[in-house]
């Protein structure tokens, strides 16, 4: 979840409660020309609930497939009927059979399907503590901060979302069991661990972390998850914000880091796939990641101009970089942060709108910042690309 979405969610609470190939399989130099189609054309969105699967699969088949999308990152979190830890299930979760229907459609259309569970950060939202810390409060990095006392950001405790303690001796027994289970169910060769906007890390009150370097803590958790996935030949994907120095770049403390995690960029394995999200400007940090050796895709959200600039930048970077770096610019992933069903409602409403008569004030009043409108622009662009 991102700050923009946080604001959106705050304002719209009644409405709503970041093929992708490993860099080694990117196309050869000869394809890095004006007609380069981008190796990754992705969408990251919440997984549907069981009742919404039919409509979502129709959306994938009728909207994404004709635009040559080849990556679908589904935010599953606790919306799965985990057998290893049934206590972590959301009400009415996806079953293995439900997931098989999504897997089958994606395989039919050569779409790489990647499940996501938010790890480390994003263990709460506003006053709601999510399943992991609800069931295992001993994993909480700073239990003195209570989600029930949450007040809108900025609040005195700087509570945005809770984190688990990466050094708790039992947390990975639980986390890796559900990660393995969801990857098996999705037949996945990659897993997205989120790890964005981690504000609580190395907190004073944590007896294990309080004297540790935050970059080393963050890098240690990334590396541990990476190594666990690698045992089964799976790739780790994460959001990139904690690896960017928010002060030097001027990008700030949301899309980049103020809490000293950014030196972790030099401490983590180079085959971690970076999802480099920027929503207000087409910041050029994809070049930073690629030149550090990481496969990277730029991620946009709800400003159509920014999204299309990000796609154009990826293609330009691929054309003008040395071959070794060029192949690391993997493409573009659009992100949707509302609920799956709510998004589809808005998407089809906007898609079915009749164009307003020219010069009408109505046309000018159409919202310029809208994730569904932006996705329609991306789809149109992808359809025109080779």
Task: Give the footprint of Zn ion on this chain (CB under 5 A).
Answer: 141, 165, 167, 206, 208-209
Query: Closest separation between CB of residue 170 and Zn ion, Å?
Result: 12
Nearer to Zn ion, 202 or 295 (CB): 202
CB of 168 to Zn ion, least distance (A): 7
Phi, psi of 195 (to 5 degrees): 65, 25
Residue 217 CB, nearest distance to Zn ion (Å)? 8
β-strands 128-129, 124-125: how paired? antiparallel
Cβ closest to Zn ion, residue 158 vs residue 360: 158
Q: What is the distance between the alpha carbons of residues 194 and 175, in angstroms, rounded to a whole number? A: 13
Place of tokens 């196309």: 27
Residue whose CB is less far from Zn ion, 132 or 333: 132
221 or 370: whose CB is closer to Zn ion?
221
Query: Min. distance of Cβ 165 from Zn ion in angstroms?
Result: 3
Q: Which is nearer to Zn ion, 167 or 325 (CB)?
A: 167
Nearer to Zn ion by Cβ, of 142 and 335: the residue is 142
Nearer Cβ to Zn ion, position 47 or 206? 206
Burial classification of residue 228, based on how many CB atoms lie within 10 Å of its CB (0-12 exposed, 13-18 middle, 19 or more buried): middle
DSSP string, 90-142: PSSPBPHHHHHHHHHHHHHTT-EEEEEEEESS--EETTEE-HHHHH-GGGBS-
Cβ atoms of residues 59 and 46 within 8 Å = no
Q: What span, in angstroms and rounded, lies between the C-alpha atoms of 5 and 28?
A: 37
How far is it, in rounded angstroms, from Cα 283 to Cα 85?
40
Cα dist from 255 to 6, 164, 222, 247, whole Å: 13, 21, 18, 11
CA dist 259 → 11, 103, 262 (Å): 27, 38, 8
CB of 141 to Zn ion, least distance (A): 5
CB of 219 to Zn ion, least distance (A): 15
> At its nearest, how many Å lie between Zn ion and the CB of residue 169?
11
208 vs 292 by CB, closer to Zn ion: 208
Minimum distance between the CB of residue 193 and Zn ion, rounded to whole angstroms? 17
Q: In whole angstroms, what is the distance from residue 242 CA to residue 353 CA?
A: 39
Nearer to Zn ion, 204 or 362 (CB): 204
CB 206, min distance to Zn ion, A: 3
Number of alpha carbons in the 13 Å side-chain half-sphere of residue 22: 12
CB of 56 to Zn ion, least distance (A): 37
Name the phi and psi angles at 40, rounded to 5: -120, 125
Distance, in Å, from the CA atom of 299 to the CA atom of 310, rounded to the nearest integer, reads: 8
Assign residue 111 a region: left if phi > 0, alpha if psi is -120 to 50, beta otherwise?
Answer: beta
Q: Which is nearer to Zn ion, 21 or 172 (CB)?
A: 172
**CB burial readout 87-120, b (16+ within 10 A) else e:** ebbbeebbeeebbebbbebbeeeebbbbbbbbbb
């Amino acid at each position: 979840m991102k700050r923009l979405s946080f604001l959106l969610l705050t304002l719209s609470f009644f409405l709503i409660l970041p093929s992708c190939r490993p860099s080694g399989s990117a196309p050869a130099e000869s394809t890095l020309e004006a007609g380069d189609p981008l190796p990754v054309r992705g969408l990251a969105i919440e997984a549907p609930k069981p009742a919404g699967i039919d409509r979502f699969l129709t959306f994938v088949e009728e909207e994404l497939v004709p635009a040559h999308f080849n990556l679908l990152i589904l935010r599953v979190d606790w919306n799965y009927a985990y057998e290893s830890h049934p206590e972590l299930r959301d009400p009415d979760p996806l079953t293995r059979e439900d997931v098989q229907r999504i897997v089958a459609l994606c395989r039919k259309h050569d779409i790489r399907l990647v499940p996501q569970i938010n790890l480390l950060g994003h263990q709460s939202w506003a006053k709601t503590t999510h399943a992991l810390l609800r069931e295992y409060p001993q994993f909480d990095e700073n239990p003195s901060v209570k989600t029930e006392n949450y007040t809108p950001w900025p609040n005195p405790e700087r509570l945005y979302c809770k984190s688990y303690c990466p050094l708790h001796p039992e947390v990975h027994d639980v986390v890796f069991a559900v990660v393995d289970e969801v990857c098996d169910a999705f037949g996945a060769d990659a897993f997205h661990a989120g790890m964005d906007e981690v504000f609580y890390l190395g907190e004073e009150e944590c007896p294990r972390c309080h004297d540790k370097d935050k970059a080393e803590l963050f890098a240690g958790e990334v590396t541990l998850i990476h190594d666990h996935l690698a045992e089964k030949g799976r790739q780790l994907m994460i959001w990139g914000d904690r690896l960017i120095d928010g002060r030097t770049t001027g990008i700030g403390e949301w899309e980049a880091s103020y809490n000293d995690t950014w030196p972790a960029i030099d401490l983590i394995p180079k085959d971690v796939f970076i999802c480099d999200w920027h929503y207000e400007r087409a910041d050029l940090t994809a070049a930073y990641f690629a030149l550090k050796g990481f496969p990277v895709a730029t991620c946009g959200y709800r400003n159509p101009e920014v999204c299309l600039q990000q796609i154009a930048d990826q293609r330009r970077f691929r054309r003008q970089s040395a071959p070794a770096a060029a192949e690391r610019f993997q493409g573009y992933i659009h992100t949707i942060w509302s609920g799956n069903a709510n998004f589809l409602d808005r998407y089809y409403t906007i898609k079915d709108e009749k164009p307003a008569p020219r010069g009408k004030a109505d046309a000018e009043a159409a919202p310029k910042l809208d994730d569904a409108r932006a996705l329609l622009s991306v789809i149109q662009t992808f359809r025109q690309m080779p």
